[in-house]
Amino acid sequence: MDAGAEAWDRHLLDEDTFTENFRNDDWPSRTYLCYKPAQGPEPSRHAECYLLEQIQSWNLDPKLHYGVTCFLSWSPCAKCAQKMARFLQENSHVSLKLFASRLYTRERWDEDYKEGLRTLKRAGASIAIMTYREFEHCWKTFVLHDQEGSCFQPWPFLHKESQKFSEKLQAILQGA
């Protein structure tokens, strides 16, 4: 799912979809990626590949620098992390800031997965786990609210789960 500046076509998540897929104490089977360009999915493809195609379709001026902030329900898998790293190496005028709700675990923390995240970081991507602040921002920016003034309602263990995933991510990025 994507949303951007005022001139961009905005697709917003409904409240239930956001909660079901971004809640970091649950394990949904789909990945949602919300992004917002800082300057002017099909089921068979991973959301990260769709994002890279979208960025390429913007025909960005290579003389300018563009930052894209992404909010993912899962961190990128090994293949997507490698593709994103390659994209950043080939497009030095674009930077990515990734906030994930939880870490991708299908690969059981194998070395390919860990190396994919490290390669992505070395390529210049900022990678972090979502905290209350990012969940709230994502909610305000990318969720279609049933009622005006609808506020983000954190779940009981949001902070604990965010801290746990953040510690695991830092260990991976530091080579542990």
Residues carrying an active site annotation: 48
Using alpha carbons, list the distances in angstroms from residue 50 to 35, 90, 118: 11, 17, 21
C-alpha 120/C-alpha 96 separation (Å) is 10
Which residues sit opposite 68 in a β-bridge? Answer: 37, 96
Using alpha carbons, list the distances in angstroms from residue 69 to 35, 43, 147, 175: 6, 22, 26, 25
C-alpha 145/C-alpha 79 separation (Å) is 34
Which residues sit opposite 97 in a β-bridge? Answer: 69, 126
